[in-house]
Amino acid sequence: MPGDTSNTLIRTLSRSVRGHVRESALAPILMAFEVVIEVIIPFGMASLIDDGITGGDMGHVVRMGSALAALAALSLTFGAFSGVYAARASAGFAANLRSDLFRRIQGLSFPNMDRFPPSSLMTRLTTDVNNIMMAYGAVIRMAVRAVLMVSFALAMSFRINSSVALVFVGAIPVLGAGLFTITMKVHPIFVRAFKRYDSLNNVVGENLRGIRVVKSYAREAGEAGKFSEASGDIYRDFTKAQKRVAFNMPFLQLCIYSCTILISWVGARLIVSGSMSTGELMGIVSYSMMILMSLNMLSFVFVMIVISRTSAKRVMELYGEVPAILPPANPVTEVADGSISFSGVGFSYVGDAGRLCLKGVDLTIGAGETVGIIGGTGSAKSTLVQLIPRLYDVTSGSVKVGGVDVRDYDPAALRDAVAMVLQKNTLFSGTVAENLRWGDAQATDGELREACGLAMADGFIMDMPGGYGAKVEQEGLNLSGGQKQRLCIARALLKRPKVLILDDSTSAVDARTEAAIRKSLSETLPETTKLIIAQRISSVMDADRIIVMDGAGVGAVGTHGELMAGNAVYREVCASQARGVGDFDEG
């Protein structure tokens, strides 16, 4: 039901007001005081004109003038403090909402993240939250002011003269209906426009991440064209929306001038007949301007609400996203050892048993064993190992680590026992030491150097200005590919894992350094199960066993010698690499 959806949306977003409830309450309360005083001022003006100026009583003019000046100053004070509290409340609300969303994103699993591209998440955390913040600030201040002003001014107008005040009764529904129609026609355009923002952010993100490729291929003009196209789509949508919103002001002006003419005409007739004074007419004219300008303010708030409603629904998509991987009711929190077992494993990224990228995988890997994994492009090597720390859940079958189904573990405990060095080496802006301590936040300087020694990284780190305190630029742009890989290996080693997965993580280092890394890992981590995905046969030929991935499953398993003797595909790859004419590609 739409009403239920709106109520759910409001309840969910209102949780982020925490810590700013006082400011959120004071802003409308102070605004109410300001409105009451502003409504009293025209009533006092009528008295000043009728009893003071028309009546020739200068004492009354001085007294009433002084009182009105004091009321105006008091109204200004209330309005200023209302603005301050509204700003604090809306900014604090947005900060909480942004933090809540970020924590929500951190709690999502890989399958959930596949549904939300990074560009879309960035838009929701920035543009969408800002839209909601602006609407919230407008509601607790501007909307309160407009509603109270219309109500009080209308009441005062009826008190002065009900015949003239009836003009407003006819004008308000017409104005309200017109503004509602305009804002409703704008809503679908804003829905489309914010989706365009996702596309724009995606273009920018891809360009900045791949700027070296763009420049090396001299594709700046093409990228500028893609950006212009995405930006142009947003321009066209917002132009169309603003054209419709632009009808607000002329329509409002038409209502204002029509009401002014009617009030003047009716009021003049009443003055001539003696049923109304000049001061009373001036008061009603002032109230008419208050009412109609407040309705204009409401139309502005309505537009902001329409925009923010679109943003709020996009934010609610994240709130409504249930993590695909959740801990069981009574999770196992300790991984006994690094033994791994695949039993009848089938897997599909879309959860469709008819579209499996892994089929019927049966494997048993002992604790402390070193296993190499090779295969062609698309043979699901990376997919296979991502099931071990339960980054994804199997579609069928089971995966066990330490003799326990991975679905029975607490995900954090399981992932703390399984260290992965992924194909894409990700480093964060900060120092070398800060990046390494992602593996163990409490690691000592000696432990950092020990891990880096095993990964053959200590030498180049000490050659950097500042050593372990040297700055790492965002994504490690000031490091070579091999240096980044070695730092990532060292970071993983600091976890002291039961299972270590190296997913093509030495492809950028030379053969001699790679051999030294393999030797140090073998000698210092004898109880850690090591899975090495590689393109080069030389990277895995010394492994206890080698798994050859073929198609959507395991083609063969054996030692280097066994595969050379009994597997034609493996022999062919070895021969081609020996001649330097072929490698297995990444998969």
User: Position of tokens 């009994």?
Assistant: 566
pLDDT digits over 539-570, tens only?
888 899 999 988 778 889 999 999 998 888 88
pLDDT digits over 200-211, tens only?
777 777 777 677
Q: Which of 384, 304, 324, 373 is nearest to 136 (CA)?
A: 304
Give me 106's structure tokens: 């951190």
Mean pLDDT for 567-587 is: 68
Mean pLDDT for 459-477 is: 88
pLDDT digits over 119-135, tens only?
788 888 888 899 899 99
User: Looking at the predicted structure, is the pLDDT value of residue 199 above 80?
Assistant: no
Q: Is 338 exposed, middle or buried (0-12, 13-18, 19+ CB in 10 A)?
A: buried
What residue type is 404 in one-letter code?
A: V
Percent of the chain scored above 70 by pLDDT?
95
Query: How many helices, marked H, and strands, marked E, lie in the chain?
Result: 21, 12
Distance between CA atoms of residues 106 and 94, nearest Å: 18
Q: What is the distance between the terminal CA atoms of the chain, rounded to a whole angstrom? A: 46
pLDDT digits over 149-171, tens only?
888 888 887 877 777 777 777 77
Instruction: Give the residue, 370 or 575, on which the prediction is more confident.
Output: 370
Residue 369: its H or E element: none
Distance between CA atoms of residues 392 and 459, nearest Å: 37
pLDDT at 582 (0 to 100)? 47
Between the alpha carbon of residue 83 and those of residues 77, 88, 132, 293, the distances in Å are 10, 9, 17, 19
In 3-state terms, what secondary structure has residue 465? coil
pLDDT at 5 (0 to 100)? 64
Mean pLDDT for 290-311 is: 78
What residue type is 517 in one-letter code?
A: I
pLDDT at 109 (0 to 100)? 86
Cβ neighbours of residue 194 closer than 8 Å, sequence gap 6 or more: 123, 127, 128, 310, 311, 314
Distance between CA atoms of residues 27 and 526, nearest Å: 65
pLDDT at 539 (0 to 100)? 85
pLDDT at 462 (0 to 100)? 93
Cβ neighbours of residue 69 closer than 8 Å, sequence gap 6 or more: none
Instruction: Give the residue, 556 or 509, on which the prediction is more confident.
Output: 556
The torsion defined by the Cα of 225, 230, 236 and 242, in degrees rounded to 10, comes to: -130
pLDDT at 580 (0 to 100)? 61
pLDDT at 585 (0 to 100)? 44
Distance between CA atoms of residues 31 and 24, nearest Å: 11
pLDDT at 212 (0 to 100)? 67
Between the alpha carbon of residue 529 and those of residues 39, 98, 364, 422, the distances in Å are 78, 40, 12, 16
In 3-state terms, what secondary structure has residue 418? strand
pLDDT at 181 (0 to 100)? 78
Give me 99's structure tokens: 């933090």
Contact 345, 396 (CB under 8 A): yes
User: Looking at the predicted structure, is the pLDDT value of residue 342 above 90?
Assistant: yes
Residue 72's pLDDT band (cuts 50, 70, 90):
confident
- Its pTM stands at 0.74
Instruction: Please give the mean pLDDT across all residues of the chain.
Output: 84
Q: Which of 112-116, 194-198, 416-420 has the highest mean pLDDT?
A: 416-420
Between the alpha carbon of residue 491 and those of residues 420, 487, 500, 505, the distances in Å are 10, 6, 11, 12
pLDDT at 3 (0 to 100)? 45
User: Position of tokens 């083609």?
Assistant: 555
